[in-house]
C-alpha cells in the first residue's frame, strides 16, 4: 500500500478521535506504519474535532500533511474546516444529513460523496454507532486495514462494554459492515468528478 492520508472531522462528541485510534490500532496489528494526530479545541464537546491519520506499508516521512487523499466531514462546520485539505486528488466525504452550505464544499475535490450515516444509525441501528458506520466507510473507501483487523481493534477498544451488553458487539459489527458497503457502493456509482 502506498501512503494514504486521511483527515476525519466532526463535532466534539461524535467519536472522530475514537475512530482514528481504532483504525491506527488495526493498522499496527497488521504490521503497517501509521501516524495519528488528534486536533481539537479546548472544548471537547461543541467544537470541531479533527483527526489526521496516515497509513503505509513503509516508513512515513512526515507527521503532518497539507492535502489529504480522503477527507471525511461529519457536520456542516467540519465541512468548512476541512475544505482546505482537499485538492484535485481528494475524495471528499460528508454526511448527507448534515446541514451544509454549498459554498463550503471544496471545488477542487476529485469526487464529493454524501453518505447517510446519521440517518442510517438513527433509523436502522442506534445513534450510538454512527461513528462506527463512518469507520466502516473509511475501510470501504481506502482499504487501509482489513475488515477483520478493524473488528479485532474494535473488540479491544470496547471489550468492557461488549461484556456488559453482548448485543452491542453485533450492533457495532453490523454498523461497520453497513458503512463499508455504503462507501464501496458510492465509489462504484460515480467514477471521477463531483456529484
Mean pLDDT by 10 residues, the chain (195 residues): 92 88 95 92 69 95 92 91 92 89 84 91 91 94 94 91 90 95 85 43
pLDDT at residue number 45: 56
Its pTM stands at 0.88
Helix (H, G, I), strand (E, B) or coil at 119: helix
Examine residue 194 and state whether it is found in any structural domain, yes or no.
no
Examine residue 46 and state whether it is found in any structural domain, yes or no.
yes
Structural domain that includes position 173: 4-187
pLDDT at residue number 195: 43
Alpha-carbon span 93 to 117, nearest angstrom: 11
Examine residue 13 and state whether it is found in any structural domain, yes or no.
yes
**Inter-residue contact 12 to 77 (CB < 8 Å):** no
pLDDT at residue number 50: 93
Examine residue 18 and state whether it is found in any structural domain, yes or no.
yes
Examine residue 137 and state whether it is found in any structural domain, yes or no.
yes
pLDDT at residue number 180: 95
Rounded to 5 degrees, φ, ψ at 159 are: -55, -45
Beta bridge partners of 93: 72, 113
Examine residue 195 and state whether it is found in any structural domain, yes or no.
no
Chain position carrying cell 464529493: 112
Domain count along the chain: 1
CB atoms within 10 A of CB 19: 27
Examine residue 193 and state whether it is found in any structural domain, yes or no.
no
124: Cβ contacts below 8 Å, ≥ 6 apart: 178
Q: Output the domain CATH number for residue 99.
A: 3.40.920.10
Amino acid at each position: 500500500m502506498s501512503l494514504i492520508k486521511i483527515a476525519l472531522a466532526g463535532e466534539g462528541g461524535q467519536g472522530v478521535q475514537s475512530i482514528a485510534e481504532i483504525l491506527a490500532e488495526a493498522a499496527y496489528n497488521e504490521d503497517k506504519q501509521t501516524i495519528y494526530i488528534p486536533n481539537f479545541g479546548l472544548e471537547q464537546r461543541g467544537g470541531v474535532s479533527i483527526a489526521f491519520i496516515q497509513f503505509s506499508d513503509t516508513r512515513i516521512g512526515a507527521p503532518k500533511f497539507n492535502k489529504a487523499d480522503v477527507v471525511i466531514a461529519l457536520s456542516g462546520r467540519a465541512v468548512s474546516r476541512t475544505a482546505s485539505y482537499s485538492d484535485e486528488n481528494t475524495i471528499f466525504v460528508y454526511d448527507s444529513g448534515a446541514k451544509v452550505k454549498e459554498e463550503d464544499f471544496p471545488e477542487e475535490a476529485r469526487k464529493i460523496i454524501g453518505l447517510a450515516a446519521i440517518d442510517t444509525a438513527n433509523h436502522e441501528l442506534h445513534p450510538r454507532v454512527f461513528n462506527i458506520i463512518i469507520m466502516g466507510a473509511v475501510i470501504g473507501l481506502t482499504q487501509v486495514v482489513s475488515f477483520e483487523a478493524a473488528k479485532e481493534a474494535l473488540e479491544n477498544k470496547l471489550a468492557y462494554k461488549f461484556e456488559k451488553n453482548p448485543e452491542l458487539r453485533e450492533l457495532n459489527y453490523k454498523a461497520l459492515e453497513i458503512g463499508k458497503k455504503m462507501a464501496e457502493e458510492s465509489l462504484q456509482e460515480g467514477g471521477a468528478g463531483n456529484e
